[in-house]
Chain A
């Protein structure tokens, strides 16, 4: 039973990070039907910003938890600025182009950002300070749930609840839902669609940055390439849950995290990815729109 709980929580914390990143994919897809391949890079930039902030604040002698809080806030702002700019440069001019064009431009953006960080920072792995301390009250549960996991899970939970409330109850949230349903109609009733799209990129990038800082503080190292695999996994999670659906992204992330964790624990880590992708294929066979995706009739 303890072994099961260990795997359950390690899957849950990994899944929460996948979910945080997947939210960005799914929100952007929901609104402009674009797979934003540069999203993983935004996650990576978030982690790098966190590292820089942590470095500066540590030398000023701040306590770790406040460094973590400030680090997350700064990297959210910084990554959001990146997300906003990427949208303005790479996607907005192509808004009415055929759908392949922004897709290629997204891949280009991803490669550009990766190489930019590699040149501007370093190609080496960098140590990331352990910003999540071990709380004393966690000691009895240490064997299956450490403070890092607890932190990742609870932060993700708070962020996701806040996002849901935002989308459900604010003006901007309503405008987002309207734009996702029908962009033209939303425009006709006076929604500023450009603003909504920018906001989507800003929020999505901010979420990715939270994930980036959390996982970097947990794992303890980063380099320019971490966004690729994390982005790929999160994209899988978004598709699994039904791309375009926000609860779907969260569910997809968790299901993916658990699948990987249990496959490693009970079968073999050799087959971690095999199980994850078999599950994806199975779900897409029986529910082509993903777990919580809406089955929509294609307009022909």
Chain B
């Protein structure tokens, strides 16, 4: 009897604590709103993505692109007199950190966000932004479903998507390289598997080449020699890999070690200079699809020149797409006249803007119209356009 009484008292006390806890949270929220309310003369642009960790090379160019665009616009007096301010959030391309980043941006009342970088992280973060009516634009998340299944009207992107990328790679392998037996490998992630599946579908439908092997590997594995042996035993004359550069460089190196010299075709996760750096001589001859770059586009030239001046190096992966995203978002806010969600979305769908990836606006699903993929090949330590 006594112990039951004790339990009840404890239970009530704990329930009480919970209530107190909730109350405290409300208070904090209220304080946060008060704190941000008076600062209406600035427009905060969130930039979320991998800014540290092993995939930082994908995300840092985006942050720098946003900074460059913000600097340009601020120099011209800002957006409706509001100075653009960048708020960077790091997710290391990890879904669990991406949701933290999203929650933080939402709680800071940021209305427009560039991000995230990796598809898996973007997928995890989007529901949080959707509930808070935050407009998100990714320069690099290519997972097909993000826009195509229509669940996220608040999501836009300045890059084409995997379904098309996989098709582009498959077409290239069959029509240009004229290869017949393809081994399709992926890293089991949202991005790599999406690419691999769409490539396989295109190959199966085309009927000109045969998929001799379709398998996922464990990312971060100690070595991949067993799977390389399997590719060899399957008699493939081409390896199509969906995934990121750390695994790609290991596989390419081990293919060469085991005397397997067949074409290696991959995606824009591999079309990154870090790949060439880590794979070294093994990178020579590797093909990768990547977002189409308009080298003679004026905005592109200016953006790259600005980048080189500011940071003293070549811009990295997804820089043009990120630059375009920052331009498009800020332009839409400018045209809409406020950060009101519906107005900005309408402006994104209606207003054309000149960007490094061409003159774009967004379709109903959120994909930029007119952007596509090209194929690149590593030649003497550099990616060069094929075709």
Where the two chains meet, the residues of A that have a C-beta atom closer than 8 Å to any C-beta of B are 3, 6-7, 10-11, 13-14, 17-18, 118, 123-127, 142-143, 146, 148-149, 215, 218-221, 223-226, 228-230, 233, 260-261, 264-265, 268-270, 272-273
Contact = CB atoms under 8 A, between A and B. Distances in A.
Most chain B CB within a 10 A radius of its CB, from A118, A229, A261, A264: A264
A127 B280 contact: yes
A183 to B, nearest CB: 34
Contact of B218 (A146, A225, A269): A269
Contact of B222 (A123, A148, A215): A215
Nearest to B249: A221
A131 to B, nearest CB: 13
Contact of B223 (A124, A142, A219, A223): A219
Given A123-B53, A124-B274, A264-B226, A220 B250 contact: yes
A224 B257 CA distance: 24
B153 interface: no
A58 to B, nearest CB: 13
Summarize B's interface: helix, strand, loop or mixed: helix
A18 B221 CA distance: 12
- Ranked nearest first, the 10 interchain pairs of A and B with the lowest CB-CB distance are A264-B226, A10-B225, A261-B226, A6-B229, A270-B216, A220-B253, A125-B278, A269-B227, A221-B278, A229-B220
B258 interface: yes
B134 to A, nearest CB: 28
Contacts of B225: 10, 13-14, 149, 261
Contacts, number: 108
Given A3-B229, A10-B229, A264-B230, A218 B223 contact: yes
Contact of B278 (A126, A142, A273): A126
B217 interface: yes
Nearest to B55: A123
B57 A124 contact: yes
B246 interface: yes
Interface in B262-279: 274, 277-279
B274 A146 contact: no
Contacts of B216: 268-270
A146 B253 CA distance: 13
Nearest to B53: A123
